[in-house]
Amino acid sequence: MDNVYKYWYDSPSPLTEVHLKYLGDALKKAGSDGAFSHRDARFNLNIVSKWIDPSQTQSNVAWTKRFFESMEPYSSGHYINYLGELSNELLAASYENPKYRRLQEIRAKYDPQGLFTSLKQGFVTRA
């Protein structure tokens, strides 16, 4: 909590939001055969960086990246809908390895031309 408070308090924009949600055991109760991973997570942290002045973009993006990286030691993974910038590494970390491979196989079968890769959460790599 100290780290969350430190970064939230030092946010370069008063519009920024930091959501920390307790998840309880609901994720564990769902079946494990779906694409959603990290069902053992107890909390969900969402950093919502917002600002109006374009001249503040660099400082806000840099702050968000530092905050994100500072939380990595406490993280069991990433929720794909919360990722702003998508990279192959973050995408792969959003799923447990067998699930990621299965999703790549499904994509190769049903979207071989990569139609959905233009979506923010689209798969970057080819299967």
* C-alpha dihedral sign at 6, 65, 84, 42: negative
Predicted structure pTM score: 0.67
Structure tokens at 20: 């920390």
Q: Which residue has the higher pLDDT, 32 or 41?
A: 41
d(CA 111, CA 118): 12
Q: Which residue has the higher pLDDT, 16 or 113?
A: 16
Q: Decide if pLDDT at 127 tops 90.
A: no
Q: How does DSSP classify residue 10? A: T
Of all residues in the chain, what percent are helix, strand and coil, respectively (each to 5)? 45, 10, 45
d(CA 114, CA 87): 16
pLDDT of the residue at 51 = 96
Q: Which residue has the higher pLDDT, 2 or 81?
A: 2
d(CA 100, CA 98): 5
Structure tokens at 119: 């979506």
Q: Which residue has the higher pLDDT, 90 or 105?
A: 105
Contact 51, 11 (CB under 8 A): no
Cβ atoms within 10 Å, residue 39: 17
